[in-house]
Structure 1
């Protein structure tokens, strides 16, 4: 097993948004580009683009008082890159599964649609723990799940549409929804989301001979 890289001392404090150089600060993914020895960027080649999107979103949603709690996790993203056709829906499913039970009702319907449609893009033997969390999340919001099931029966989502933008929109909707949720300490939920997503991607990449994604039959929606 490859030992994770450690963050060096003396790096800038994590802050929101893009930065031209380390002299003006660093976000989570800019710090990762430095650790990977890549050009300074918030979209380094060392990390799957959807995981990087989630990391940037969590970084930017957190307050200055809490953001540095992410620093120990930055080395984990270095090298987490594989088949984006698999990793993108995995990251989006994690975001939606963590968010659905706690976000406002207005956001739950869209997240439930994602949770019912995206699993068909992930090979069935991968990340069983995530699939269990998806099922629990859907069960926690029965009204949103029933609405999403009805919606998908009349407006089925095509694979190319799922791949084109659904994952990225789901990640953004989930992170903003968690921050605005009426729960104690939403920032801790955001930090937990990023760490759960890192664990999911590590799980996928550590699976020997990870199969290429094959579109499975569409998941049967929960009856209304």
Structure 2
């Protein structure tokens, strides 16, 4: 399905790293294991992975704290957080930190494989063949330019904010139906979530993050409105736009 993705694993359990690497080798995927955050950070100065598997409980740092820092540095590769901490609060903390998925330990390797494949398909655009290509990729939300293809928002002063592919897909779904309520299940499917939204707040966490970002850029409240029991509605003014040059 994929041409040798590079999976990085940050996990202090060396036996688990060895097992995962062996299974990834069987799929024809390359993998690199790290047991300390510093080793990962050093390697990121050289290159980036196709996807990162990140343990939450590390010896010298929590995974959510490390991930928050990576996102602030501009790293946008998909991240699956692995943790024995499985309460709703723990999962929400991981998603708020920037994780694309959260899997509790112990887990089925087949389930992990499917979650990884889904995220890689979204990241590489492999899912685009399933639906007709959209006629419009760029929009203006008030004074902010949104490029869905590049997954980025550009402010009036030229400041560019990069989005994950999943978050960009969410915003595209809302932008194409301004003023209309888009259901939570629809948004979850578009974002590539494998989580049952009736049992999880993961989609709410992602939309809350997008809402805060838009409100900061637009300097207006309620850019995205939550409709209880139904879904979400974009309140910001929307119009079609041309791609920006040199962004």
TM-score in terms of structure 1 length: 0.29
Task: Determine which structure has the larger strand proportion and give its number.
Answer: 2
Return the structure number with greater helix share: 1
Determine which structure has more spread, i.e. the larger CA radius of gyration: 2
